Amino acid sequence: TQSTRPQRLLAAVHKKATRGNPRSVVKAIDEFCNQNEWAMNVGNEKGEILDSVVSETNPGCVLELGTYCGYSTVRIASLLPPHAQLITLEFNPDNAAVARQVIAWAGVAEKVRLVEGESGEWIPKMKEQFGVKTFDLVFLDHWKNRYLLDTKLMEECGLLKKGSVLLADNVVCPGAPDYLEYIRNSPQYKSQFFKSHLEYTKAEDGLEKSVFLG
């Protein structure tokens, strides 16, 4: 039977990356996507911006919406301080299965909790199910038409505190216009746009970083 693109991406990780070395896993995926097949990982150009935001935030508790194959999960987890935790939500069970193996190969599994399901269902359960108080950093990389809804849901669930950082991928391509409109005009956030390109292409894209002011 035919393999899927995520399965071919995983095969490239097993072939080219060194087990336990997160940077080699990131490099292997970027090579696969540049040389073989495009895939919707955040990529290296936006990934370096992600790395800098993670490093400056030094988060103890991170939420990632949209795991896909675990590329950004591995980038984030490899920069977390000891005992910090990353919860990542993936909607597609086949992609989640690949992500688990990518995360394990990178050697960051003990920092990561991968949950299969929809943001709207799981965000309200974060406190009771995972003992989360608030998130220091949220990486929004899931369905673009859910960014705004889920940001409001996180506010309502008391999952953000003064200083919490939201970092949103794809605010230009595919785009999240209602989210940008809200977050840039809300007195409760201080936002900053990082211009970049859609992963592995020359198309315009960028990340929006927003600090919750409480």
Ligand X SMILES: Cc1cc(-c2n[nH]c(CCNC(=O)c3cc(-c4ccc(F)cc4)cc(O)c3O)n2)ccn1
- Binder to ligand X among 57, 73, 170, 210 (CB under 6 A)? 170
Q: Which stretch binds ligand X (CB under 6 A): 28-36, 105-113, 140-148, 181-189?
A: 140-148
The reply to whether 169 belongs to the active site is yes
Q: Which residue has the tokens 């038409």?
A: 145
Q: Which stretch binds ligand X (CB under 6 A): 17-25, 61-69, 75-83, 104-112?
A: 61-69
Q: How far is the CB of 172 from Mg ion (least distance, A)?
A: 11
Q: What's the rounded Cα separation, in Å, for the pair 166 and 212? A: 8
Nearer to Mg ion, 57 or 170 (CB): 170
Q: Which residue has the tokens 């988060």?
A: 59
The reply to whether 41 belongs to the active site is no
Catalytic residue among 144, 150, 208, 209: 144
Q: What's the rounded Cα separation, in Å, for the pair 156 and 141? A: 20
Q: How far is the CB of 211 from ligand X (least distance, A)?
A: 22
Task: Name residue 161's amino acid.
Answer: K
Binding of Mg ion at residue 169 (CB under 5 A)?
Answer: yes
- Considering only CA atoms, give the Rg of the chain: 16
Half-sphere exposure of 41 (CA within 13 A, CB side): 33
119-158 residues in contact with Mg ion (CB under 5 A) are 141
Buried residues in 6-43 as b, exposed as e (16+ CB within 10 A):
bbebbebbeeebeeeebebbbbbbbebbeeeeebbbbb
**Cβ atoms of residues 167 and 53 within 8 Å:** yes
Residues 6+ apart with CB under 8 A from 94: 4, 6
Q: How far is the CB of 121 from ligand X (least distance, A)?
A: 8
Binding of ligand X at residue 68 (CB under 6 A)?
Answer: yes
If binding means CB under 5 A, how many residues of this protein chain bind Mg ion?
Answer: 3
Binding of ligand X at residue 146 (CB under 6 A)?
Answer: yes
Q: Which stretch binds ligand X (CB under 6 A): 28-36, 83-91, 105-113, 206-214?
A: 83-91
Residues 6+ apart with CB under 8 A from 112: 73, 77, 85, 86, 87, 88, 103
Write out the residues near ligand X by the rule CB under 6 A: 40, 65-66, 68, 89-91, 118-119, 141-143, 146, 169-170, 173-174, 198-199
Just list the catalytic residues. 141, 144, 169-170, 199
Write out the residues near Mg ion by the rule CB under 5 A: 141, 169-170
